[in-house]
């Protein structure tokens, strides 16, 4: 699998992860989607240290990383709010 295919797979996984978190927050899923979250984080980390990425691939990865971190921060904030309401 080449780098652009891996990046496309991460983007697709990120979309699915967002959908899964939306379902989790709405009560449709009983557990948080940890497995997919871990897989996305691991793949991003693996590609971020790859010295063979060209400029276009690095730009695409940085865009994906930014989107992932914004979403992860939002999900963590919602989880904290839910925990505070539960207390």
pTM of the model: 0.91
Give pLDDT, residue 1: 84
Number of domains the chain contains = 1
* pLDDT one-digit tens code per residue, 41-79: 999 999 999 999 999 999 999 999 999 999 999 999 999
32-61 residues labelled b (16+ CB within 10 A) or e (exposed): ebeeebeebeebbeebeeeeebeeebeebb
Residue 49: which domain range?
Answer: 3-86
């Amino acid at each position: 699998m080449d780098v652009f295919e891996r990046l496309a797979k991460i983007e697709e996984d990120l979309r699915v992860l967002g959908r899964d978190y939306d379902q989790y927050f709405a009560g449709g899923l009983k557990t948080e989607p940890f497995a997919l979250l871990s897989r996305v984080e691991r793949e991003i980390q693996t590609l971020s240290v790859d010295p063979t990425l060209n400029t276009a691939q690095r730009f695409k990865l940085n865009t994906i990383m930014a989107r992932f971190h914004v979403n992860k921060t939002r999900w963590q904030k919602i989880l904290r709010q839910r925990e505070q309401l539960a207390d």
